[in-house]
Amino acid sequence: MSQSVMVYTEIRNGVIHPVSYELTAKARELADKLVCDVCVVAFYDTLQEVPEIFFAYGADRVIAAQDQCFSLFNQEIHTKVLSEIILKEQPQIVLAPATTGGRTVMPAVAGTIHTGLTADCTGLDIEPESGLLLQTRPAIGGNIMATIKTPNHRPQMATVRPKTFKIPEKRRVSGVIQPFEVDDSMKQTAIEVLEWIPLESGSENIQDRDVIVSGGKGLKRKEGFKLLQQLADLFQAGIGASRPTIEAKWMDYPHQVGLSGKVVSPKLYFAIGISGAVQHIAGMETSDLVVSINKDPDAAIFQVSDYAFCGDLYEIVPKMIAVFSGLLSDRIDETESEKHVQ
């Protein structure tokens, strides 16, 4: 069946990234409105799961391209193979993760096959009268939401940030696995992958954390981040930082939250000593719960906070640590007592 909704999945070192399931489930929802099938594309060398796992999240078909050329990420090969599959399958929609991989491969595909691509969508739906994909994304630093259509070009393509959509319960359904042979011409590349250097543990991507503790220039000195680390340790939180602290070399670039750094959306975000430049707010305002501490009562960050503390962060943070560690030890006690009951 043609006219499918296609998902370009993300598989890193043999592990399927959860965003792949999030997008498969979203594709299912869109495909049900369009009455068409969901086709998942998986590029991998080794796989810790079986490709059939995608059926549980709504895929009808999995195009499985297993080849050694996918052992280390090569954006040129991904672009060629995905473009080839899209031209052959003629899907009406392609969804892809807005990760460094998806945000590299998808625009290259769009340039190759001449169609539109909408980056970082936070909402996707089908317009009932036209059957067109409605792609909603934040624009101008998240101050407005723009709804975008791709009226005349196919497929309609969108990237979506991880954790934008929920992963549903697994279903017991079956589907079709279609092996895809990567021929040698697609493996010709001007890119030689030399080395893969994983981040040290503890410095993993802050975008994957449920809690982020961020610091700004209000810390006044680099050592202020040590205090934030104590707060972060209570929640196994990641450390974020505003652009000025990165420029002052208080913290490394992978920790930068904002337009020119990472856009994060954790369950709990602490903005400590951050005044709230538009460029920073755009990087964190979709967080579930925002807590800020600033000595300036007019700080812009307070406008996007649920809990705003006005005062000296060096007084407030230690108090928070004291109260929260009590809270967390209560919780451990509860879990312990539950174990005893069992």
Partner 1 sequence: MKIAVLIKQVPDTDDVKLDPNTGTMIREGSGTIINPLDLNAIEAAVQIKRNRINPCSITVITMGPPNAQFALREALALGADQAVLLTDRKFAGADSWATAKVLAESLKKTGGYDLILAGEKATDGETGQVGPEVAAMLSIPCATYVTKIENHEENVVITRIVEDGFQRQRIHFPCLITVLSDLNRPGMPTLKGKMDSRRATLITLTAGDLDINPDELGLMGSPTRVVKVTTPQKTRKTKRYSGNGVEKGIVELAEKIKSSVLNR
Residue numbers 201-260 binding partner 1 by CB under 8 A: 204-205, 207-208, 210-211, 246, 252-254, 259-260
Task: Pick from 47, 52, 67, 119 the residue near partner 1 by CB under 8 A.
Answer: 119
Residue 8 within binding range of partner 1, rule CB under 8 A: no
For the bound state, the minimum distance from the C-beta of residue 160 to partner 1, rounded and expressed in Å, comes to: 13
For the bound state, the minimum distance from the C-beta of residue 293 to partner 1, rounded and expressed in Å, comes to: 9
Q: Which amino acid is at 132?
A: L
Q: Which is nearer to partner 1, 152 or 342 (CB)?
A: 152
The answer to whether 55 touches 178, Cβ cutoff 8 Å, is: no
Residue 313 within binding range of partner 1, rule CB under 8 A: no
For the bound state, the minimum distance from the C-beta of residue 116 to partner 1, rounded and expressed in Å, comes to: 3
Residue 331 within binding range of partner 1, rule CB under 8 A: yes
For the bound state, the minimum distance from the C-beta of residue 173 to partner 1, rounded and expressed in Å, comes to: 27
Cα 28 versus chain centre, distance = 19
Distance between CA atoms of residues 120 and 6, nearest Å: 17
For the bound state, the minimum distance from the C-beta of residue 267 to partner 1, rounded and expressed in Å, comes to: 5
Three-class DSSP labels, 24-53:
HHHHHHHHHHHCCCEEEEEEECCCCCCHHH
Among 72, 76, 86, which Cα is nearest to 41's? Answer: 86
Task: Give the residue carrying structure tokens 């003629």.
Answer: 90
Cα 258 versus chain centre, distance = 14
Stretch that binds partner 1, among 20-28, 61-69, 86-94, 199-207 (CB under 8 A): 199-207
Which parts of 73-92 interact with partner 1 (CB under 8 A)? 73-76, 79
CB crowding 66-89: b at 16 or more within 10 Å, else e: bbebbeebbebbbbbbbbbbbeeb
Task: Pick from 18, 71, 103, 314 the residue near partner 1 by CB under 8 A.
Answer: 103
